[in-house]
Structure 1
């Protein structure tokens, strides 16, 4: 090839010298050389070069895809932050809703972190929202406080537990939600999808005033535990209905206890018997029980149902009653809170063995929520117990929760607005007097705006010492509507009823 090129150059050079000068000769000879190279196939790519060219283009494409879709991540889920940053403080303000009840902690989608699940109810001043989307569940990312998901419900949720039952068999427990107006639903905790609502295929039953269900062994053979729900099917809450854990439909017929005005404290015992307290006429009570087979026979005429599971985990029940109090026993000590005296709180910690009072707390113009208990070990290895209290204090100078309080409404009690809604006297359990400021909103609903001082109190004790710490104090603005709900309750936000379990954690 080298020889051929040289020959061409020699021939052409002799021709060029006769007609052109030195500079034109060099340019023309170079052009002829390039043309001849192409014609002879010197410019074609070999298969190996073509392959390398294609691979280089593919590598560029892969690089772009990796940098756009693989490497980027939410910074709170990046491995380097997840495993090397121990803690981070955050604060989140969410407008238009009231967080209610306890907090459920569940794993994130990738399994490396945790989300915080809250129940909420909507702004009570916007009646249109209340009628359509009364409340729901919101999940916040535990590391940043950002929204993970939100599920809206038509009724206000009152209690939730995400640790009891795996409905869709994905090795992750789902959330059981109980709420107003007969709300019972199952929600999966990763994305907030509703798995089912309690329903009756025959449409003959409309349970209301639900208590949180008892986890009951599987009776229909789908390998999912059922739910035994205390409820009301008339004007009394004296019935039990069995709900399918997989689909949410009511199984068979209800169990009615007509002699009872009300039933509560329903539980599943170790021998699989169902026990409950029956409230009778004349303020009498009686403990009653049913065997597992009696429940199966009474509900769906199921004979000889065999139990193929261990004792299911049950919901940790709230035993405090609004306006009354609570009692907890731990480590030989009894903690009693009393809200029964109007506008007054009394808490006692007593040694059960000696009867000696170890700690007392009393305060006028205050209400105490049921506390959350925790335990820890000191560096010495000694075990200590603690309680976290949420206390609401009415501002000084007001008339407390007196029944004779004159609340500042735009309409007086007894008047009727243009929609036929009656303004009634205030309920002291919800209506906490405060400032005289009022403002008008839609539907002639003119709320009172009240100020509450919220205290967070921590009490720790062991066998010898008791320590009290007031770790937080903040002002809370409460809005109380002059309109009643369908259940006859006053609309206040926040309200004592919805904050009873707000200090609880369920993992």
Structure 2
């Protein structure tokens, strides 16, 4: 009896399970809820009616077999699960590194974010137009402009004139092309000479016209005819492709044999070679030429008249094919537009410079066109010259409307104002030293009011040499010393400004030339100004 009782209480558990048994039991566990009793059956499937083994499943056991995980993941141990998840994360990290980190190494190929910066370059005068050109690396841009060597050879004797490109992110030099003669003009958005999908620079000096690779500053070609380089020419304008080489041509004016400036020349855009030339004898001087709707328009001046003429581009093409073809110029009625009025968002800015500086004065006015030409501003400054203004317009966002007080439109302009200063002796000669103030003004307006803010003011020392040929820095090379553009394509505009000045010692009257380039984020700085 005791043996039977003992046998009823104790039932030997199997020491091993087959794969099928293990899978069967796991499937049974799927349907068990926390706290539910589990009945043990014999191997023949019949329940034990005398005694049965029962127990409650712990909460964590049920969680381990939750249906939401795949079957293979449910059967993993915690360590294997951790290793599996870590391997997936490592794969994602490798993809991110190869797509974004490695291409953005020290080579500057990452998208550049432009902040405010200021940098100085000694021994040169920055001048002329600011050109935004492509940099060596993807999504980088440079600022290309002219550089003139210091006229004070006693102190800055090693300086050289040429063309210079500065990195837009730092102001450091990207490339510099020295020139024997000081260049007079450079434009970098007219033509892609080498067809690398990047516009190249056209550089003009007394030595002639050159095409530069904008990425490196290397000379691609020099404007020439069959015998020599073409010199003493004006800056060219762009014409259509006239010789069927799939690249635009260039038209300019140079001197004829009788020293009159009345000879039209057409240069091949691909090679820089002269395609054709002809002299217009009814003109002593040709200027203000432009291309418009298959016509070349130009001003013809001589002792008896000052008129505008036109030439059809088809005649120029015939002249290239047949050098004996007679090109006819027809007199027209044409009134050129003078840049003294600038219209923006229902307002007109008037800028007028009168007289020869430093004995000059400037008149500036602001008119609200939408309110019966109401004059909002009108003032005159003696011994002053106003540079060409730059219009701006900001997005009409809630943030801009609040921080800028609704002044979303306006003009940025530079003003030179002369003050009295004594002469200073350099190199044994008397050289006139002029003291100036260079101001950057912000003229902003809304529908209800306007403001004039003095953004910056710096002192400039200008030296005028006894020959009377040059003053440095030169006034007329400052008309384009401001540029407003989005350098890093982030939707916000940067204001680029350069200036040049001599720095003179108090005792030995030694002066050396320094140029400064500055970039500021205009919207951010304006918000600070309005907050004050």
Tell me the TM-score normalised to structure 1 length.
0.64
2:316 aligned with 1:279 = no
Name the residue aligned to 1:172.
Answer: 198
Change (3 A) 1:303 1:208: closer
Q: Residue by residue, what CA displacement relative to the aligned partner does 1:290-322 show, whole Å, maximum 9, x if unpaired?
A: 111122234552799xxxxxxxxxxxxx987xx
How much is the aligned-residue C-alpha RMSD, in angstroms? 3.3
1:471 and 2:471 correspond: no
In the TM superposition, residue 240 of structure 1 has moved relative to its aligned partner by: 1.8
The match for 1:190 is 215
Matched residue SS, 1:219: coil
Instruction: Supply the distance in 2 between the matched residues of 1:156 and 1:389 (Cα, whole angstroms).
Output: 26
Alignment counterpart, residue 264 of structure 1, candidates 261, 280, 287: 287
Deviation at 1:225, TM superposition (A): 0.7
Change (3 A) 1:294 1:463: farther
Question: What secondary structure sits across from 1:230 in the alignment?
Answer: strand
TM-superposition CA deviations, 1:78-121 (whole Å, max 9, x none):
74xx46xx443322111110000121112221212211112111
- Describe the superposition over 1:135-175 as per-residue Cα deviations: whole angstroms up to 9, x where unpaired: 21111111122221111122222222211211111111101
In 2 relative to 1, CA 302–262 (structure 1 residues): closer, same or farther, beyond 3 Å? closer
| 1:128-147 alignment runs, 5 A limit | 135-147=161-173
Matching residue within 224, 248, 263 for 1:199: 224
CA distance in 1, matches of 2:146, 2:380: 31
1:385 maps onto 2:385 in alignment: no
Given that 1:125 and 1:445 are in contact with CA atoms closer than 8 Å, whether structure 2 keeps it comes out as no
| Residue in structure 1 matched with residue 340 of structure 2 by the alignment | 326
- 1:226·1:243 contact (CA, 8 Å) conserved in 2? yes
Q: Which protein is richer in strand relative to its size? A: 2
Q: Is the 8 A contact 1:446 1:482 kept in 2?
A: yes
Larger CA Rg, structure 1 vs 2: 2
For the residues of structure 1 that align with 2:463 and 2:457, how far apart are their CA atoms? 19
Contact conserved, 2:423 with 2:431, CA < 8 A, in 1? Answer: no
- What does 1:168-247 align with in structure 2 at a 5 Å threshold? 168-179=194-205, 181=206, 183-203=208-228, 206-210=230-234, 212-233=235-256, 234-247=258-271
Aligned mates of 2:313, 2:377 — CA distance in 1:
44
Q: Tell whether the 8 Å contact from 2:165 to 2:175 is kept in structure 1 after alignment.
A: yes
1:345 CA displacement: 1.1
C-alpha deviation, 1:72, in angstroms:
11
The runs of at least 4 consecutive aligned structure 1 residues that moved more than 6 Å come to: 70-74, 127-130
Distance 1:156 1:458 in 2: 32
Query: Any idea what SS the aligned residue of 1:94 has?
Result: strand
CA–CA separation in structure 2 for the residues paired with 1:385 and 1:465 = 12
Q: Is the 8 A contact 2:109 2:140 kept in 1?
A: no
Contact 1:241 1:253 (C-alpha < 8 Å) held by counterparts: yes
Distance 2:343 2:286 in 1: 24
Contact 2:423 2:430 in 1 (8 A): no
CA distance in 2: counterparts of 1:133 and 1:195, whole angstroms: 25
Question: What residue number does 2:177 align with?
Answer: 151
Matched residue count: 365
**Separation in structure 2 between the aligned mates of residue 464 and residue 280 of structure 1, nearest angstrom:** 50
Is 1:118–2:145 an aligned residue pair?
Answer: yes
Question: Is 1:481 aligned with 2:486?
Answer: no
User: Is this contact kept in 1: 2:109–2:139, CA < 8 A?
Assistant: no
Distance 1:191 1:332, change over 3 A: same
Query: How far apart are 1:480 and its partner, in Å?
Result: 1.6
Which of residues 395, 415, 426 in structure 2 aligns to 1:439? Answer: 426
For residue 358 of structure 1, give the secondary structure of its aligned residue in structure 2: strand
Which sections of structure 1, spanning at least 5 residues, go unmatched?
A: 1-69, 305-317, 399-433, 485-489
CA distance in 1, matches of 2:321, 2:483: 37
Q: Please report the TM-score for the alignment, with normalisation by the length of structure 2.
A: 0.62
Residues 231 and 237, structure 1, Cα contact 8 Å, conserved in 2: yes
- Structure 2's unaligned 5+ residue stretches are 1-100, 326-335, 488-532
Question: Relative to 1, partners in 2 of residues 1:303 and 1:358: Cα closer, same or farther, differing over 3 Å?
Answer: farther
Q: Structure 1 residues 275, 101: closer, same or farther in 2, change over 3 A?
A: same
* Residue 360 of structure 2 is aligned to residue 343 of structure 1: yes
